[in-house]
Structure 1
C-alpha cells in the first residue's frame, strides 16, 4: 500500500534538520508555539493561511505543499467547505488551475457540494478571476446537466461569457451551446443573455441569428416594461440586475434589426427601424441614466439615417455625414473607426474619391489596433469592424495605385482576421493581395510569405501532420 507523505512530516523533518524549536519556528512563521505544536503533533488540521505562513518560513515557493494539502485535508478526510473555500480562492490568486481541478474532482461526486461551488464561482467571477471560475462553472454544469435548473443555465451563461474571445470559430460554438439554455434563465437575465448572443452573432455576420435574438429580446423586454409600469411606481428589484435601463432592450432590438437589414442591402427597412429607435417619446422614465441612453439612441439614429442613404447610393449625403462627424460630441475611437468604415464602404462601392476625408482620420488610422473591451459589443463587434475597416482601406488604396498604403492596411486586416480566426475574410485578404502582388515590393512580398508560412506552421502544430502514403 502506497504511503502518502504528510505536510506534518515535512515540517517535522525541517525542524530537526535546521535544529529549530517550535518556539523559534513560530517566530519565523508569525505563529504562536501552541498552533505549531498542534500541527506537528497532528492534533489540529491547518488552514491554507497557516500553510502559506509555514511554506514561507521554510523558504519554499508559494503553493509548494498544495498537492499534499489536498491529499491530507481534502481527500483523506471528510470534505470541509470552511477549509476548501479559502483554499480555492488562494489557488485562484496563484493561478493554480490544475490544483482547483483536483479539489473539485475530489468532492464533486456529491451533488450537495454543487450549490456552494457555484457560489464560490460567482464570487470569483465578480472578482475577475475568470479562469478559476470557469473550472468551477464547468464542473457544476457537468454534474447538474440533467437537473434543468436555473443554476445550470447561469453556469452556461458564465461559461459563454468567459469563453467568448478573439477566436470567432470558438465563439460560434460557445454561442450555439449557450443558446439552448437561455430560456432556463429568469426573465430578467434573459434580456442581457439575448443581447450578448446578438452581439456575438453580429460580429460573426450571422444576420439570421442576430434577427432572431433581437426579436426575442424585444418581445420579452416589452412584456417586462409593461409589467413594470403596471406596478404603479413600486420599485422592482429584479430590474436592478440589468446592465441597462429596461427600455434600452426594446430600442436596442430595433437597432439590431436595422443593422440586419442594412447588411442585407434593404435600406428602406433599415431606415424604418432606425426611425423607430430614434423615437423614444413612449419612454416613461425621466432619470439621468434614462436621458443618457435616449441621447445615445438619438445620436446613433442621426448618423445611421445618413449612413443608410449613403450606402444605398445617395452619395450627395456624404458631405452631410462628414459635417455630422465634425460636430459630433463625445466621439470615441470606436465611433471614429466605424464612421471611417462606412465612408470606405461607400467609396469602394460607388468609386468616390475620399482621400481628403481620410486625412481627417489619420490619428484614428494610426491607432487602429488599439481598442479596449468593456462589454460583449466592444469585445466582439468592434474588433471585427476594425479588421473590416483595414480591408476597405486596403481595397481603396490598391485600386487607386497607392500600393504602399494599400499593402500596409491589407497586412493589418489579414493579421486581425487571423487573430479572429475568421477564415472567410482571411481568404478575402489573401485574394486581394494576390490580385495586386505584382505591385508589391520584395520586402512586402517577403513579409506576406513569412506570415502565411507562420500561419501554416501554427495550423500544422495545432492539427498535426498529414501522413504520406506510397
Structure 2
C-alpha cells in the first residue's frame, strides 16, 4: 500500500468518521450535500476511489456543520495520481484557498508545485482566475510566485504577471502607486498590443494622480502612436481577402486613441501650456471618422465630444476668457455627469482671475456635498482638488472660518490618500491662516496631523477630477 493511498484514506477516513458520528446514511449525506448517492459511494467505498472535488468537499463540510476549509490541509494529495498533478482539481482548490484565506494550505501546495518548473503554469492559471473574478488582492501572491520562479523573462505569463501586479496594487496609496509604476513600466513594450494599450492607459492615469505630468505625456504619446498603428492594421485586415480575427482589447479601440489625445491635453493644461493643450483637445473632439465602429464605439465617440466641449470651455477660462462662462454653465446643466469635474477647473479659474462664483456654487451645491456616505474611495482625489481650490477661494474673500473648514477637509483627504505632498500643502495653507481658527478647528487639525484619522491604504483606484480621464 503506497503513501498516496494512505493520505487519500486519511481524507476519506475523516469523512467516514463524521458519517458515523452523525448517524448518516449515504442517502442522508446525499440529501444534505447535493452529491448523488452513487458518487458518494464511489468516493468512499470504491478501490481506487472516485476523486473528490473541492466543491464537493465544501458541500460535505456544510452537511456536517463545519466551516469552509474543512479538511483542506489533506486535500492536495487528492490532486496527485502516481506523482502527476491534476490541474482540474488543483486550480479550483487553490482559488478556493485564496478566497477563504487558507494561507498555510496555499504555501504547502505552492512549495510542492515549485519542485517542478513546468507547474508554474498552474500558479499562473490560479492568479488569472482570481484576477478575472476581481479578487485582485488574492491574486498577488500567485503572480509574485510566477515572477520569482519563471526563468524566461520574455514569456507571456512572466510579462502578464508583471502587468496584473501593476493593476492589482493600484489605488492603495500614492507611494505604492509610484512603486507599481517603477516595477512595471520597463515591461510594458513586451506585452501584446491589446494588453499594451490598456497598460499605457493605466500608466498614464496613475501618473496623473501622482501629478507627474511629463510621464503622463510620455505614456499618452505612446498610447496615441500604438492605437494608430493598431487602427491602421485593422483597416488593412478589413480590406484584405484573408479572414482574420478582429482586434480585441479591454476597451474599444477608439477609447485608447481618444484618451491618448485627452491625457496629453490634460497634462499640458496642468503645466500651464493652454494653447498647446487646446490643439490636443481638437484631436478627440470629433472622432466620428473612426471607421472601426459599433454601437459601443459610437457611445464612446459621443463621450469624447462632450468632454472636448467642457475642456475647451475650461481652457478658455484659464486664459481669462470669461465670456464663455455662462455658455459653459448652460452646457453643464444639460450634462450633469460632467458638473463636478468641471467645477474643479472653474474654481481654479476663479482663484486665478479673481472672479466670484458664489452663484455657481449655490446652483450646483448638490454635486459637492461633503459626507462620509457620498465620499468613497473612487472620488477621494476628485474631492481633494475641488476642496483645495474652494479653500483658497474662501480665503481670498476673507471668509476664513469657511476656508479653514475646507482646508481641514483637504487635510483629511490627503491623509486618506497617503499623499504626503498634498498633506504638506494643506498644513502650510492651514498655518498661514491658523490665527483665525476656532478652538474646535484647532482640535480637529491636531487630531489629523497626529494620526487620528490616518489611513495608509484605501481599496479603490483614485479617479482624477478632470473631465474624461478614465
Q: TM-score category by the smaller chain? A: 0.7 to 0.9
Measure, in 2, the Cα distance between the counterparts of 1:218 and 1:336: 27
Equivalent residue, structure 2, for 1:434? 431
On the 8 A contact 1:198/1:209 being kept in 2, the answer is: yes
Find the counterpart in structure 2 of residue 265 from structure 1. 272
Q: Does residue 229 of the first structure (1) align with residue 235 of the second (2)?
A: yes
Q: In the TM superposition, what whole-angstrom CA distance separates every residue of 1:5-43 from its partner, at most 9, and x where no partner exists?
A: 943444455456566677766666565388458537985
- List per-residue Cα deviations over 1:211-238 (Å, max 9, x = no partner): 1101111111111111221224467634
Residues 392 and 15 from structure 1, CA distance in 2 versus in 1: closer, same or farther, beyond 3 angstroms? same
Q: 1:104 to 1:42 in 2, by over 3 A?
A: farther
TM-score by length of 2: 0.84
Residue 259 of structure 2 is matched in structure 1 by: 252
CA 1:159–1:61: 2 relative to 1, 3 Å: same
Matches within 5 A, 1:122-141: 122-141=128-147
Kept after mapping to 2: 8 A contact 1:100/1:135: no
Paired residue for 2:296? Answer: 289
| Partner residue, 2:465 | none
* Matched ranges for 1:362-381 at <5 A: 362-366=365-369, 370=374
Retained in 2: the 8 A contact 1:156–1:181? yes
Q: Residue 345 of structure 2 aligns with which residue?
A: 342
Q: 1:68 to 1:30 in 2, by over 3 A?
A: same
Partner of 2:460: none
Which is further off, 169-178 or 392-401? 392-401
Q: Which residue of 1 aligns with 2:446?
A: 449
TM-score normalized with structure 1 length: 0.84
The equivalent residue for 1:182 is 188
Q: CA deviation at 1:321?
A: 2.4
How much has 1:95 moved relative to structure 2? 4.3
The equivalent position to 1:83 in structure 2, one of 83, 89, 112, is 89
Distance 1:238 1:149, change over 3 A: farther
Question: Is the contact made by 1:347 and 1:353 (CA closer than 8 Å) also made in structure 2?
Answer: yes
C-alpha contact 1:267 1:308 (8 A) present in aligned 2: yes
- 2:389 is matched with 392
Give 1:77 shift.
Answer: 5.8
Q: Partners of 2:151 and 2:398 in 1: how far apart?
A: 58
Confirm whether residue 415 of structure 1 aligns to residue 423 of structure 2. Answer: no
CA distance in 1, matches of 2:437, 2:80: 63
Partner of 1:99: 105
- For residues 257-301 of structure 1, what are the alpha-carbon distances to aligned partners after superposition, in whole Å with 9 as ceiling and x for unaligned? 111211111111111111232243643345433332222222222
The answer on 1:155 being equivalent to 2:152 is no
Q: What is residue 322 of structure 2 aligned with on the other side? A: 315
Give the deviation of 1:75 after TM superposition: 11
Q: Quick one: distance in 2 between partners of 1:75 and 1:405?
A: 71
Please say if residues 113 and 120 of structure 2, whose CA atoms lie closer than 8 Å, have aligned partners that are also in contact.
Answer: no
Distance 1:457 1:283 in 2: 47
- 1:67–1:259 Cα change, 3 Å: same
How far apart, CA to CA, are the structure 2 residues paired with 1:110 and 1:275?
Answer: 55
Moved more, 300-309 or 402-411: 402-411
C-alpha separation between the residues in 1 aligned to 2:251 and 2:22? 57
Tell me if 1:298 matches 2:310. no
| Conserved 8 A contact 1:140-1:152 | yes
In structure 2, distance between residues paired with 1:281 and 1:37: 63
In the alignment, the residues of structure 2 paired with residue 213 and residue 168 of structure 1 have an alpha-carbon distance, to the nearest angstrom, of 18
Write the deviation string for residues 411-444 of structure 1: whole angstroms up to 9, x where unpaired: 2221221121110011111111122222222112
CA drift at 1:116: 3.5
Say if 1:153 and 1:181, in contact at 8 Å, map to a contact too. Answer: yes
| Residue 143, structure 1, aligned to residue 146, structure 2 | no
**Shift in Å, 1:346:** 1.2
Alpha-carbon distance change, 279 to 28 in structure 1, aligned in 2, over 3 angstroms: closer
Q: Which has the higher contact order (CA 8 A, sep 6+)?
A: 2
For residues 227 and 179 of structure 2, the distance between their equivalents in structure 1, rounded to whole angstroms, comes to 26
Partner of 1:7: 11
Q: RMSD in angstroms over aligned alpha carbons?
A: 3.1
Structure 2 residue runs of 5 or longer lacking an equivalent are 1-5, 457-470
Measured after TM superposition, the shift of residue 109 of structure 1 is 2.8
Change in CA separation of 1:269 and 1:98 when aligned onto 2, cut-off 3 Å: farther
Q: Judging changes above 3 Å, is the alpha-carbon distance between structure 1 residues 360 and 23 closer, same or farther for their aligned structure 2 residues?
A: closer
1:191 aligns with 2:197: yes
Gaps of 5+ in 1: 374-378, 460-470
Aligned pair count reads 445
